[in-house]
């Protein structure tokens, strides 16, 4: 818990400069407090006003919040809109020739796409989807490299009312199949290859493997972008369709499908503490409002900004802050296909200089790895265009925060540490940069209209300094609507009976400091946060146990300097416990197995073999003890309920 201790001692305060404050969309604490008062006074009226101001409706809503079937809340339910219209068409008159996307490929080539060009590309692809028989409500899986076409694919689905389910290109065929099957998707959109760090990523080959598996029968067509001229990827004439052939000759106009505000915009799978990943289902209207409100308040968007969020569209951050938010507000944004370390650790800084980025949003894990690889590198580039920095995905340690602030931000850029989740749709707790003074390591205060709190097991508010469960007291527009196909799990997970079904339970622990600032301490469930990516320990355990050699497995997180957390697996084999070179060989095999079953991001850094696992008399694996062993710590905790105490000593010596 050393990182939490150091966070606790952190009390440096960084107020916005006068210049930043004066120009900001929400100026000073007066501005912030005024918005909070409006929300407290008339919660629905507050969101309704924002909904009218920021979203373009085809049919205006008259109802705001419907909580008659809580926790299945509805927002703006009688309004009709199209999110692609909001992201593109509505800008065409005033900003048609403005650059919407500056795309930089892995190899450094860049391309500017104007709003008008984006409109034509989205319309043509939407028409292509229609030609393949995709209609409103159909599910379409997007398994793409992080390119303009990924955004086009998502926007085109939204334009015709199809529901996209983006699967990160690092996931394995098995993980892809699970998502295809759960959503009963009709189409997969992919590329023959992706590019990351100078190397091709065989996306199409993985799709072929996934679609051939049992459970993928719903897939009718696979659309393939020719990202690489000469790829060895197979092409099945009966099932596969080239992207360029599909759009050729298609009209550059496509009337948007006007959908109800509650129409599902997308499903995005995320890890939970038990079972398979959950299909988080988002709405159209409320989701869009969340993205727009935070673009305006948290990212303090102004005309002329060059916005760059480095997240891949495979994650929620790439949905809200690449595919939708920046376009909805009419920004110019950078979309980057590659990785921060290729060709070297100066890539981000070089790109900020090249594209004159004003607003830069990335993850603490990237910051930590770049500090390690070249803490002085930013100084070689002109980063004077930057005015605002952001982080997301995990708590940022104060040392990394200070480096980001000084070396990247030149001491002049506020840092917005944004706490939110796949389920929340948009930033929830984050400083409004022209108002709230920041503290390194704290995500500070809820954004106006978000009623966050920290409570104990009984649901009672905790005192400052005391850890508790992070909850949200009132429904908000961009919240998850349900878990696809599993409304019961939705209710149980997020609105548990322990809190009378009244509070949204985020799954994080947190505490308030004496100024009411919120400090996130980590997950309270069995979810790991590896490089800002959520992984369920159960998922990895299930993958390990599926290997014919493995009898039992327990997975825990271990603090990691760069990744935040790394995966440590304790494994019991069906045969004898392996030692020496045998242990090394089997550990390697199992790591590759997990990469194949789930994806490289889930690969254990460490595998330890034992004759057994520490269990309670009732047979429960005592993961807290395993966490201590993984950290190399002596076990000082209570082991009286342990059935087989001798196993601890064996596991403590089991590092290979
Ligand atoms: C947006 C995103 C959500 C989990 C969340 C929490 C952690 C995200 C954070 C943060 C501390 C921040 N998290 N942002 N922890 N400070 N600024 O990351 O969504 O992938 O669903 O992960 O990530 O633990 O519960 P998602």
Nearest atom, ligand 1, residue 315 CA: 20
Nearest atom, ligand 1, residue 523 CA: 24
- Please work out whether the CB of residue 337 comes within 6 Å of at least one atom of ligand 1: no
Q: Which of 298-302, 317-321, 341-345, 521-525 has the lowest mean pLDDT?
A: 521-525
Distance 328 CA to ligand 1 centre (A): 23
**Rounded Cα distance, 597 and 584, in Å:** 20
**Rounded Cα distance, 464 and 462, in Å:** 7
For CA atoms 299, 303, 304, 310, the dihedral sign is positive
Token pair belonging to 516: 């009411």
- Please work out whether the CB of residue 520 comes within 6 Å of at least one atom of ligand 1: yes
pLDDT digits (tens, 9 = 90+) for 31-54: 999 999 999 999 999 999 999 999
* pLDDT value of position 577: 95
**Rounded Cα distance, 417 and 426, in Å:** 13
Do the annotations mark residue 196 as ligand-binding?
yes
pLDDT digits (tens, 9 = 90+) for 515-532: 999 999 988 888 899 998
Q: Kindly report the protein residue whose alpha carbon is nearest to atom 23 of ligand 1.
A: 393
Record the pTM: 0.93
2 CB-contact burial (10 Å; exposed 0-12 / middle 13-18 / buried 19+): exposed
Q: Kindly report the protein residue whose alpha carbon is nearest to atom 26 of ligand 1.
A: 421
Nearest atom, ligand 1, residue 422 CA: 21
Do the annotations mark residue 597 as ligand-binding?
no
**Closest among 147, 136, 250, 137 to 189, alpha carbons compared:** 147
- Please work out whether the CB of residue 427 comes within 6 Å of at least one atom of ligand 1: no
- Please work out whether the CB of residue 419 comes within 6 Å of at least one atom of ligand 1: yes
The kind and range of the H/E element at 508 are strand 504-512
Q: Which residue has the tokens 């106009």?
A: 253
Among 315, 444, 534, 564, name the best residue to mutate to test ligand 1's pocket (greatest count of ligand atoms within 8 A of Cβ).
Answer: 534
* pLDDT value of position 4: 40
Pairing of strands 468-472, 452-455: antiparallel
User: Is the Cβ–Cβ distance between 322 and 313 less than 8 Å?
Assistant: yes
- Please work out whether the CB of residue 534 comes within 6 Å of at least one atom of ligand 1: yes
Nearest atom, ligand 1, residue 527 CA: 24
Token pair belonging to 432: 């409004």
Do the annotations mark residue 531 as ligand-binding?
yes
| DSSP assigned state of 230 | S
Among 314, 318, 504, 532, name the best residue to mutate to test ligand 1's pocket (greatest count of ligand atoms within 8 A of Cβ).
Answer: 532
Do the annotations mark residue 571 as ligand-binding?
no
Span 185-211, mean pLDDT? Answer: 97
- Please work out whether the CB of residue 511 comes within 6 Å of at least one atom of ligand 1: no
Per-residue confidence band for 8, with pLDDT thresholds at 50, 70 and 90:
low
**Closest among 556, 566, 535, 562 to 614, alpha carbons compared:** 556
**Rounded Cα distance, 266 and 149, in Å:** 17
- Please work out whether the CB of residue 418 comes within 6 Å of at least one atom of ligand 1: yes
Span 356-363, mean pLDDT? Answer: 98
Contacts 24+ apart (CB under 8 A), 241-250: 241/132, 243/125, 243/128, 243/149, 243/189, 246/125, 246/128, 246/131, 246/132, 247/121, 247/124, 247/125, 247/127, 247/128, 250/123, 250/124, 250/125, 250/127, 250/128, 250/131
* pLDDT value of position 6: 39
Distance 393 CA to ligand 1 centre (A): 4
Token pair belonging to 141: 């899986």
Do the annotations mark residue 417 as ligand-binding?
yes
Do the annotations mark residue 550 as ligand-binding?
yes
Dihedral pair phi/psi, residue 114, rounded to 5°: -80, 165
Dihedral pair phi/psi, residue 523, rounded to 5°: -75, 150
* pLDDT value of position 9: 58
User: Is the Cβ–Cβ distance between 437 and 13 less than 8 Å?
Assistant: yes
- Structure-model confidence comparison of residues 277 and 305, the more confident one: 305
DSSP string, 114-135: EHHHHHHHHHHHHHHHHHTT--
* pLDDT value of position 621: 84
- Helix-strand-coil split of the chain, %, nearest 5: 35, 25, 45
636 CB-contact burial (10 Å; exposed 0-12 / middle 13-18 / buried 19+): exposed
Distance 395 CA to ligand 1 centre (A): 8
Taking phi first (over 0 means left), then psi (-120 to 50 degrees means alpha), and beta for anything else, what does residue 227 get?
A: alpha
Distance 532 CA to ligand 1 centre (A): 7
Q: Which residues pair with 189 in a beta bridge?
A: 142, 223
User: Is the Cβ–Cβ distance between 298 and 427 less than 8 Å?
Assistant: yes
* pLDDT value of position 656: 86
Nearest atom, ligand 1, residue 520 CA: 11
Q: Which of 9-13, 16-20, 583-587 has the lowest mean pLDDT?
A: 9-13
- Please work out whether the CB of residue 431 comes within 6 Å of at least one atom of ligand 1: no
* pLDDT value of position 616: 79
Q: Which residues pair with 444 in a beta bridge?
A: 518
Dihedral pair phi/psi, residue 68, rounded to 5°: -70, -20
Task: Give the ipTM of the model, two decimals please.
Answer: 1.00
Token pair belonging to 385: 């265009």
Among 423, 425, 440, 520, name the best residue to mutate to test ligand 1's pocket (greatest count of ligand atoms within 8 A of Cβ).
Answer: 520
**For the chain, what's the residue count?**
656
The kind and range of the H/E element at 243 are helix 243-247
Q: Kindly report the protein residue whose alpha carbon is nearest to atom 7 of ligand 1.
A: 394
Q: Which of 2-11, 108-117, 361-370 has the lowest mean pLDDT?
A: 2-11
Do the annotations mark residue 523 as ligand-binding?
yes
Distance 651 CA to ligand 1 centre (A): 31
Q: For the chain, what percent of residues have pLDDT higher than 70?
A: 98
């Amino acid at each position: 818990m050393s990182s939490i201790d150091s966070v606790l001692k952190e009390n440096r305060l960084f107020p916005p400069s006068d210049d930043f404050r004066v120009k900001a969309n929400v100026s000073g604490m007066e501005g912030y407090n005024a918005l909070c008062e409006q929300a407290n006074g008339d919660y629905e009226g507050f969101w309704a006003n924002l909904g009218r101001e920021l979203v373009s409706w085809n049919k205006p809503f008259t109802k705001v919040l419907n909580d008659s079937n809580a926790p299945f809340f509805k927002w703006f339910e009688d309004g009709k809109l199209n999110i692609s219209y909001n992201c593109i068409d509505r800008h065409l008159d005033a900003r048609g020739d403005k650059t919407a996307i500056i795309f930089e490929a892995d190899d450094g080539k860049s391309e500017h796409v104007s709003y008008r060009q984006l409109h034509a590309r989205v319309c043509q692809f939407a028409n292509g989807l229609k030609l393949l028989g995709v209609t409103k409500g159909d599910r379409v899986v997007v398994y793409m490299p992080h390119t303009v076409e990924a955004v086009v694919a998502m926007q085109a689905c939204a334009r015709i009312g199809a529901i996209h389910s983006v699967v990160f290109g690092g996931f394995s065929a098995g993980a892809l199949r699970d998502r295809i099957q759960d959503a009963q998707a009709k189409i997969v959109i992919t590329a023959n290859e992706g590019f990351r760090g100078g190397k091709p990523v065989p996306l199409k080959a993985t799709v072929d493997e996934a679609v051939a598996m049992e459970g993928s029968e719903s897939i009718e067509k696979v659309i393939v972008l020719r990202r690489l001229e000469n790829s060895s990827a197979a092409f099945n004439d009966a099932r596969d369709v080239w992207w360029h052939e599909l759009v050729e000759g298609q009209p550059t106009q496509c009337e948007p499908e006007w959908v109800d505000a509650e129409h599902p915009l997308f499903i995005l799978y995320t890890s939970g503490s038990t079972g398979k990943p959950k299909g988080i289902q988002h709405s159209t209207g409320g989701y869009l409002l969340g993205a727009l409100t935070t673009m305006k308040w948290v990212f303090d968007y102004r005309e002329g900004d060059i916005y760059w969020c480095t997240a891949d569209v495979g994650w929620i951050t790439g949905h809200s802050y690449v595919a939708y938010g920046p376009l909805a507000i009419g920004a110019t944004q950078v979309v980057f296909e590659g990785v921060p370390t290729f060709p070297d650790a100066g890539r981000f800084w070089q790109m900020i200089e090249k594209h004159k980025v004003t607003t830069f949003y990335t993850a603490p894990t990237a910051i930590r790895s770049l500090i390690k690889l070249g803490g002085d590198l930013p100084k070689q580039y002109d980063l004077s265009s930057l005015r605002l920095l952001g982080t997301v995905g995990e708590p940022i340690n104060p040392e990394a925060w200070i480096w980001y602030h000084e070396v990247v931000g030149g001491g002049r850029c506020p840092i917005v540490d944004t706490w939110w989740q796949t389920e929340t749709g948009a930033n929830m707790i984050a400083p409004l940069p022209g108002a709230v003074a920041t503290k390194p390591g704290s995500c500070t205060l809820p954004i106006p209209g978000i009623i966050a709190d920290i409570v104990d097991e009984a649901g009672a508010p905790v005192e400052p300094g005391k850890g508790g469960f992070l909850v949200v007291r009132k429904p908000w527009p961009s919240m998850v609507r349900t878990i696809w196909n599993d409304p019961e799990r939705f209710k149980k997970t997020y609105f548990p009976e322990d809190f009378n079904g009244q509070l949204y339970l985020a799954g994080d622990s947190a505490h308030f400091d004496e100024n009411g600032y919120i400090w996130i301490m980590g997950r309270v469930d069995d979810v790991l946060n590896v490089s800002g990516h959520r992984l369920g320990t159960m998922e990895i355990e299930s993958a390990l146990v599926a290997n014919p050699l493995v009898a039992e497995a327990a997975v825990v997180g271990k603090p990691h300097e760069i990744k935040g957390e790394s995966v440590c697996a304790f494994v019991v084999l069906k045969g004898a416990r392996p030692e020496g070179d045998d242990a090394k060989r089997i550990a390697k095999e199992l790591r590759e197995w997990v990469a194949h079953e789930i994806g490289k991001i889930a690969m254990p850094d460490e595998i330890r073999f034992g004759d057994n696992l520490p269990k309670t008399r009732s047979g429960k694996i005592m993961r807290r003890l395993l966490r201590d062993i993984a950290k190399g710590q002596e076990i000082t905790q209570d082991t009286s309920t342990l059935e087989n105490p001798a196993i601890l000593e064996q596991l403590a010596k089991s590092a290979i």
